[in-house]
């Protein structure tokens, strides 16, 4: 898919930022579990804090395709950090899209500048894939909601400022769910221990806990009962974003592999002379391009509001995250023993994108969504 001159320009800006500001620190952020706040704020100065948020509240006003191009490029520098930025962008978009004018102007400018950071709170200890069964409750009391319950696996949890929370204001099922913005420092809001993870170590993950947490009714996005639809709307774009992060990691892994097999010699000549490895490299590049085209097609479909957008987003997330993990895994194999050393970046790309097959809707749920769209009357 050909890019416009403008798209090529901000793709270059993102690639340059990734190479200069992210890649040199990627291993340290992983090893020391650093949440690189100042680096992300520098990215926000380039417009990457609210990429598809409207400009009147500080966003860049770019398209879903533009967003995918940017996240793919940034992920070549650090997939973990870019993945958090993609979640932050999704939250900012949800406020921009479903908030009223007062809410948009209250929350979006500081999110777009990344002066404040956001977390998306849907998953609970007892409801992962079955998100509509969530139990966190919000009982109305005067002009406030009183929240009780907990959220699990929350990216940025404890370190972020704005929590976009799906909670139950009505009966069971999806129609009883509303979306409420909870600000850090609200009495009754607390956090679990920082989780120890295989990858995604440059972003903290904690449980978010509500104990008689009192939030103004004016912090509800949209109408009561609209929360599940808001959550799913966010995730359609989120799935393109997370797939784009996988593309960037696989892109970087292919480049690293090309460099390695060109330099590494066995049996008296560079590994790049070995036809089997040439064919493997060709397959990796082909799968990467196929995945990229699928993600960009889904991004365009979502932007245009086409009827097949949800299915295409699910297909793209399923295909790209599976294929890109396989590419990174193959890259390790082609590095031999070096690929298993933490001195070599290829293993971190593999660890960081493994979770992309699980979150924002598992790839099994993606298959369910695609099958449902095919079989519906």
Q: In DSSP terms, which residues pair with 331 in a beta bridge?
A: none
Q: Of these residues, 38, 304, 360, 364, which one is catalytic?
A: 360
The pairing of strands 162-168 and 118-121 is: parallel
Q: Would you state the structure tokens that stand for residue 297, as one six-digit string?
A: 């097609």
CA dist 192 and 211 (Å) reads 13
Q: What per-residue confidence (pLDDT) applies to 377?
A: 59
Residues of the chain with CATH 2.40.110.10: 119-225
Let me know: does 302 contact 313? Beta carbons within 8 Å: yes
Q: How far is CA 214 from CA 1, 182, 285, in A?
A: 49, 9, 52
Of the CA atoms within 13 Å of residue 59, those in its CB half-sphere come to 26
Q: Can you tell me the mean pLDDT for 216-223?
A: 98
Q: What per-residue confidence (pLDDT) applies to 2?
A: 84
User: Nearest Cα to 296, choosing from 86, 3, 53?
Assistant: 3
Residues of the chain with CATH 1.10.540.10: 5-116
- The alpha-helical segments, DSSP class H, found in 304-359 are 309-335, 346-354
Asked if pLDDT for residue 1 goes beyond 80, the answer is no
Which one-letter DSSP state was computed for residue 49?
A: S
Q: How far is CA 122 from CA 75, 87, 128, 131, 231, in A?
A: 24, 12, 8, 7, 8
Q: What per-residue confidence (pLDDT) applies to 152?
A: 98
287: exposed, middle or buried (C-beta count within 10 Å: 0-12, 13-18, 19+)?
buried
- Give the pLDDT confidence of 24-48 residue by residue, as tens digits: 999 999 999 999 999 999 999 999 9
Phi, psi of 327 (to 5 degrees): -65, -45
Flag whether the pTM goes above 0.95: yes
Collapsing DSSP states into helix, strand and coil, what is residue 267? coil
Question: Active site includes 195?
Answer: no
- Give the pLDDT confidence of 286-308 residue by residue, as tens digits: 999 999 999 999 999 999 999 99
Percent of the chain exceeding pLDDT 70 equals 99
Q: Can you tell me the mean pLDDT for 156-185?
A: 98
Residues of the chain with CATH 1.20.140.10: 228-375
For the domain made up of 5-116, the CATH class stated in words is: mainly alpha
CA dist 64 and 77 (Å) reads 21
CA dist 246 and 318 (Å) reads 11
For the domain made up of 119-225, the CATH class stated in words is: mainly beta
Mean pLDDT of the chain: 97
- Give the pLDDT confidence of 112-140 residue by residue, as tens digits: 999 999 999 999 999 999 999 999 999 99
For the domain made up of 228-375, the CATH class stated in words is: mainly alpha
């Amino acid at each position: 898919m050909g890019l416009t001159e403008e798209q090529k320009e901000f793709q270059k800006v993102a690639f340059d930022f990734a190479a200069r500001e992210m890649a040199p620190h990627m291993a340290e952020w992983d090893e020391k579990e650093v949440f690189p706040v100042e680096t992300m704020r520098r990215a926000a100065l380039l417009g990457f804090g609210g990429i598809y948020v409207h400009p009147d509240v500080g966003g860049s006003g770019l398209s879903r395709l533009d967003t995918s191009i940017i996240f793919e490029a940034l992920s070549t520098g650090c997939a973990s950090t870019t993945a958090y930025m993609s979640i932050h962008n999704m939250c900012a978009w949800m406020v921009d899209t479903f908030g009223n004018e007062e809410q948009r102007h209250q929350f979006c400018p500081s999110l777009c500048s990344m002066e404040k950071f956001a977390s998306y709170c849907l998953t609970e200890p007892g409801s992962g894939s079955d998100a509509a069964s969530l139990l966190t409750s919000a009982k109305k009391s005067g002009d406030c909601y009183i929240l009780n319950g907990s959220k699990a696996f929350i990216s940025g949890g404890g370190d972020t400022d704005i929590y976009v929370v799906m909670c139950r204001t009505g009966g069971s099922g999806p129609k009883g769910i509303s979306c409420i913005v909870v600000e850090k420092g609200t009495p009754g809001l607390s956090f679990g221990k920082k989780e120890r993870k295989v990858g995604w170590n440059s972003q903290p993950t904690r449980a978010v806990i509500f104990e008689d947490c009192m939030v103004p009714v004016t912090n509800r996005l949209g109408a009561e009962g609209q929360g599940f639809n808001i959550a799913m709307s966010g995730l359609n774009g989120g799935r393109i974003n997370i797939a784009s992060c996988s593309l960037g990691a696989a892109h970087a892994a292919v480049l690293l592999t090309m460099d390695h097999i060109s330099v590494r010699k066995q049996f008296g000549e560079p590994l790049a002379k070995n036809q089997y490895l040439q064919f493997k490299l060709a397959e990796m590049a082909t799968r990467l391009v196929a995945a990229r085209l699928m993600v960009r097609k889904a991004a365009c479909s979502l932007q245009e509001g086409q009827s097949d957008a949800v299915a295409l987003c699910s297909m793209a997330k399923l295909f790209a995250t599976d294929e890109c993990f396989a590419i990174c895994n193959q890259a390790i194999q082609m590095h031999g023993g070096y690929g298993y050393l933490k001195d070599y970046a290829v293993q971190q790309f593999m660890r960081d994108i493994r979770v992309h097959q699980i979150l924002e809707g598992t790839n099994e749920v993606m298959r369910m969504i695609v099958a449902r769209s095919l079989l519906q009357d």
